[in-house]
Amino acid sequence: MSDFDPAGADNEADTTATGRRADATATDGGTDTTTAEPAGGAAGAQADSQTPSGQEREPATASSGDYPVASRDGDDESESSEERSSETTVRSVTTRQTNRWVGVAGLSFLTGGLGVATSTRPLLLAAVVGVTYLAYANVSSAPSPSLSVTRQVSDSMPEPGDDVTVTVTVTNAGEQSIPDLRVVEQVPDALSVVEGPARAATALRPGATMTFSYTVTARRGEFDLDGLTAIVRNASGSEEREYDVRTEPTTLTCVPPVDATDAVPLHALTSPYTGRVATDTTGSGVEFASVREYQHGDPLSRLDWNRYARDGSLATMEFREERMATVVLLVDLRPAAYVQSGEDGPSAVERSIDATHRVFNSLLDTGDRVGIAALSEADIWLPPGSGPTHRAEARHLLATHPALSATPPAERVYVRPALRLLAGRLPDDAQIVFCSPMADSAAAYVARRLHVRGHPVTIVSPDPTRRDTVGRTLASVERSNRLSDLRASGLRVIDWTGEESLFEALERARRRWSA
Amino acid sequence: MTGYELVRRPSRQSVAIAAAAGSFVVVASIPGGPTPTLLALAGVVALLAGVWRGRHDVVDGGALVAFAGVVAAALSGAGAMPVVFGSVAAVVAWDSGSNSISLSEQVGRGADTGRVEVLHALVGGAVGLVGGGLAFVLFQVGPTRQPVTTLFVLLLAAAVLVVALNR
């Protein structure tokens, strides 16, 4: 009997583990731990009858609504009609003796002894009952189940904040019945369960099915629902086995809608292409700049005809040229940027990414060329570009790249190599919009370095600080000093507090700069 | 962050199952007179409180007191039938109570655990009744009247055999 269906061939790195067995040998002692070992060399096609692997590549049927909510049945006929069993792999097995019957054993001997001492035959009979239970606890061991697990999500492409109902179906695919099965879904950390425990307990006869469902609130990102902890016990509960099961993943992709903000104020460094940033260069445009003497070849439409009518001399009007800017949005994803104000609410990184997303879309709307880079462990680089394909690429990148997740990275990010790499990639005419909470001096260093390299930097800084304790006030003051220093060095800083929208922050900044 | 909060205490249903088993303990100790009955009652109440609060130690203690009621009934001259029955009921009450606590610790209160809990209690009860019934029949129709010491030693041997066979 193979425990849990063999690993599917499409599980990367698990291809050799087909037919992996979860053999846990229960030996003496209070708690023994045995880890499942892959059975060597079982490379051939898995001969598991109920796993037609071509058929269930669509675990996430994304239709909404009509799922049974928390219906639980152990014993009806619906199980055989479902062909879509999933492939599961056991990652680890732990076998434990619960030792819960030890007290009963001791008590029964005490009772028997008392019966002997007082010559009370009924007490001796009570001791027989105790010994019976001792036998009951000892003769059976926890079953090694073969489970197949399928998940259905009400919406596999939700928008952030949407509630998604996940329905989990667990089928006992083995020959043994499971008297006590407890399953705990391994919901990704970033998703919060809002309804129903993502857990269930039941007893399953061979072929029987259990269904339970729970609701999570979607957040930006791509999540694989592929883990399940199954705890099986024997009928007496004297032994328990905990399986860490990897099932076929059901993916939840949550991409924020295309949200733009108002036009982002940019520095005057531009590319040679026509765009919307008014420059000091004169030529054709909308905004009047100056009048100069006519030169041969000037277009007739720009001749100052009023002047010609007045004194007969030819003059050409000059307008401020509007050019396209090349902007690279730089997101701060260093562990130091994972700060948030208070216990709940979005982290500064989450706000930075949101800002990046909005600024990206609005810049693209205004015809600028926009790229994305990040200070992170993983290499994130989307070269500046434009057009709908570019927009879709960026949207997908910002939503689903694992390095842009809501949980801080494990390793520290080294700023200097990251800067060197970035400097090599940046086009000469690129300016930077740096989204960072500016929670440490390294962020300020990055901004300055880029600025002095000739890439004008605009900092969009979500403010994560609070002033309710002395320490927090200190951090807040430090941060605002840092921002002031940067402003003094000629960088533009948009301080985006938690209460206002990005639009308001940009508007406030624009008023200051145009004044 | 608002979210679903896992309550790690057994549900009302779990308490009801333990209460059903516990009531048999009380009934079985009635033949022993008022003191054993009160003892059993106190034990069952403590056990139920333990189940409700999700406390293993209180459940264990309550079950011990309830069983002490049964023992007291036996010592005050209750027959073999109520004593066997009361012991089985005490074990089932304790077993279902502590099982529901472990369930609630692992899957929480919100999950529907009624099915597995009832099954657990029924199987436990059946095992006890079969074992106790067998012992009772042997006790009644047994050809020889062995001294109790012999019986006790036999019992001990059986227990050791059971444990040894499983290792």
Q: Which candidate in A133, A139, A213, A217 is best for mutational testing of the B interface (most B CBs within 10 A)?
A: A133
Closest CA to A136 of A174, A96, A179: A179
Arithmetic mean of pLDDT, B135-161: 74
pLDDT in tens, A321-366: 777 788 899 999 888 888 877 766 778 888 888 888 888 888 888 8
Of chain A residues 417-436, which have a CB less than 8 A from chain B? none
- Confidence (pLDDT) at A23: 36
Arithmetic mean of pLDDT, B102-129: 90
**Torsional sign, CA A83, A86, A90, A93:** negative
Q: Which amino acid is it at A45? A: A
- Confidence (pLDDT) at A24: 35
Q: Which residue has the higher pLDDT, A12 or A290?
A: A290
Check A135 against B131: CB less than 8 A apart.
yes
Residue numbers in B near A138 (CB within 8 A): 162-163, 165-166
3-state secondary structure of A82: coil
- Bridge-based pairing of strands A209-217 and A239-254 is unpaired
What pLDDT band is residue B26 in, cutting at 50, 70 and 90? very high
Phi, psi of A169 (to 5 degrees): -115, 125
Check A126 against B162: CB less than 8 A apart.
no
Phi, psi of A355 (to 5 degrees): -60, -45
Arithmetic mean of pLDDT, A450-454: 89
Angle between helices A502-514 and A348-365 (to 10 degrees): 60
Q: How far is A177 from chain B (nearest CA, A)?
A: 13
What does each C-alpha distance from A110 to A105, A127, A198, B71 come to in angstroms?
9, 8, 43, 11
Residue numbers in A near B94 (CB within 8 A): 104
Closest CA to A433 of A504, A492, A510: A492
Closest CA to A228 of A177, A182, A172, A190: A182
| Cα A211 to Cα A275: distance, rounded to the nearest angstrom | 57
Question: Is A111 in contact with A131 (CB distance < 8 Å)?
Answer: no
What pLDDT band is residue A275 in, cutting at 50, 70 and 90? low
Q: Is B30 exposed, middle or buried (0-12, 13-18, 19+ CB in 10 A)?
A: middle
Arithmetic mean of pLDDT, A39-51: 36
Q: Which of A148-162, B85-99, B135-149 is least confident? A: B135-149
Using alpha carbons only, what angle is made at residue B28 by residues B25 and B30, rounded to the nearest 5 degrees? 115
3-state secondary structure of A392: helix
- Confidence (pLDDT) at A278: 67
What does each C-alpha distance from B43 to A126, A350, B88 come to in angstroms?
18, 55, 15
Q: Which residue has the higher pLDDT, A38 or A225?
A: A225
Closest CA to A84 of A46, A119, A57, A109: A57
Residue numbers in B near A183 (CB within 8 A): 107
Question: Is A344 in contact with A406 (CB distance < 8 Å)?
Answer: no
Q: Which residue has the higher pLDDT, A450 or A40?
A: A450
Q: Does A200 touch chain B (CB under 8 A)?
A: yes
pLDDT in tens, A237-260: 888 999 998 888 888 888 877 766
The pLDDT of residue B17 is above 90: yes
What stretch(es) of chain A map to CATH 2.60.40.10? Answer: 15-36+60-98+141-254
What pLDDT band is residue A45 in, cutting at 50, 70 and 90? very low
- Confidence (pLDDT) at A269: 60
What pLDDT band is residue B126 in, cutting at 50, 70 and 90? very high
Check B120 against A235: CB less than 8 A apart.
yes
Q: How far is B162 from chain A (nearest CA, A)?
A: 6
Chain A's closest residue to B89, CA to CA, is: A129
The pLDDT of residue B147 is above 80: no
Cα-to-chain-centroid distance, residue A55? 28
CATH of domain A15-36+60-98+141-254: 2.60.40.10
Arithmetic mean of pLDDT, B50-77: 93
Residue numbers in A near B28 (CB within 8 A): none
pLDDT in tens, A167-200: 999 999 888 889 999 999 988 887 888 888 888 9
Q: How far is B37 from chain A (nearest CA, A)?
A: 17
Q: Does A105 touch chain B (CB under 8 A)?
A: yes
Question: Is A304 in contact with A316 (CB distance < 8 Å)?
Answer: yes
The residues spanned by each domain of chain B are 12-142
pLDDT in tens, A160-169: 888 999 999 9
Question: Is A129 in contact with B129 (CB distance < 8 Å)?
Answer: no
As a whole-number percent, the residues of chain A with pLDDT over 70 amount to 77
Chain A's closest residue to B148, CA to CA, is: A116
Check B152 against A112: CB less than 8 A apart.
yes
Check A111 against B167: CB less than 8 A apart.
no
- Confidence (pLDDT) at B143: 58
pLDDT in tens, A456-493: 898 999 988 888 889 889 989 999 999 999 999 888 88
Tokens matching residue B155:
């019992």
pLDDT in tens, A368-394: 889 999 988 888 899 998 888 999 899
Question: For residue A432, what is the DSSP state?
Answer: E
3-state secondary structure of B142: coil
Check B162 against A135: CB less than 8 A apart.
yes
The CATH homologous superfamily of the domain defined by A326-514: von Willebrand factor, type A domain (3.40.50.410)
Check A122 against B83: CB less than 8 A apart.
yes
The pLDDT of residue A9 is above 70: no
Angular region, A183: left φ>0, alpha ψ -120 to 50, beta rest: beta
CA atoms lying within 13 Å on the CB side of residue A460: 33
Cα-to-chain-centroid distance, residue B105? 21
Q: Does A199 touch chain B (CB under 8 A)?
A: yes
CB neighbour list of residue A493: distance below 8 Å, 6 or more residues apart = A458, A459, A461, A483, A486, A487, A509
What stretch(es) of chain A map to CATH 3.40.50.410? Answer: 326-514
Tokens matching residue A78:
């619906």
Chain A's closest residue to B124, CA to CA, is: A236
The pLDDT of residue A440 is above 70: yes
Q: Does A29 touch chain B (CB under 8 A)?
A: no
Burial A197-226 (b: 16+ CB within 10 A, else e): bbbbbbbbeeebbbbbbbbbbbbbbbbebb
| Cα A355 to Cα A371: distance, rounded to the nearest angstrom | 14
Check A116 against B152: CB less than 8 A apart.
yes
The pLDDT of residue A26 is above 80: no
- Confidence (pLDDT) at B22: 94
Closest CA to A379 of A400, A395, A402: A402
Check A138 against B127: CB less than 8 A apart.
no
Q: How far is A195 from chain B (nearest CA, A)?
A: 6
Q: Which residue has the tokens 């007082």?
A: A118
Beta strands in A186-325 (DSSP E): 192-195, 199-204, 209-217, 221-233, 239-254, 274-293, 315-323
* Mean pLDDT for all residues in chain A: 77
| Cα A201 to Cα A237: distance, rounded to the nearest angstrom | 14
What pLDDT band is residue A50 in, cutting at 50, 70 and 90? very low
Of A107, A125, A180, the CB nearest to B139: A125
| Cα A270 to Cα A285: distance, rounded to the nearest angstrom | 15
3-state secondary structure of A443: helix
Question: Is A162 in contact with A218 (CB distance < 8 Å)?
Answer: yes
Q: How far is A125 from chain B (nearest CA, A)?
A: 6
Chain A's closest residue to B133, CA to CA, is: A129
Name all contacts of A9-12 with Cβ < 8 Å and 24+ positions apart. A9/A53, A10/A53, A11/A87, A11/A89, A11/A246
The pLDDT of residue A515 is above 50: no
Of B102, B111, B127, the CB nearest to A136: B127
Check B83 against A125: CB less than 8 A apart.
yes
Check B71 against A74: CB less than 8 A apart.
no
- Confidence (pLDDT) at B40: 94
Check A123 against B156: CB less than 8 A apart.
no
Q: How far is B12 from chain A (nearest CA, A)?
A: 16
Please tell me the pTM assigned to this model.
0.68
What pLDDT band is residue B145 in, cutting at 50, 70 and 90? low
Q: Does A164 touch chain B (CB under 8 A)?
A: no
- Confidence (pLDDT) at A272: 60
Closest CA to B34 of B96, B93, B76: B76
Arithmetic mean of pLDDT, A273-281: 66
Q: How far is A41 from chain B (nearest CA, A)?
A: 32
Find the farthest-apart pair of alpha carbons in chain B and give their distance in angstroms, rounded: 72
Residue numbers in A near B80 (CB within 8 A): 121-122, 125
Q: How far is B15 from chain A (nearest CA, A)?
A: 17
Q: How far is A124 from chain B (nearest CA, A)?
A: 7
- Confidence (pLDDT) at A402: 82
CB pairs under 8 A between A and B: 179
Tokens matching residue A349:
């990184």
DSSP string across A105-125 = HHHHHHHHHHHHHHT-HHHHH
- Confidence (pLDDT) at A371: 93
The pLDDT of residue A78 is above 70: no
Beta strands in A42-177 (DSSP E): 88-97, 147-153, 163-172
What is the CB neighbour count within 10 angstroms for residue A380? 18
What pLDDT band is residue A276 in, cutting at 50, 70 and 90? low
As a whole-number percent, the residues of chain A with pLDDT over 90 amount to 14
Arithmetic mean of pLDDT, A423-433: 88
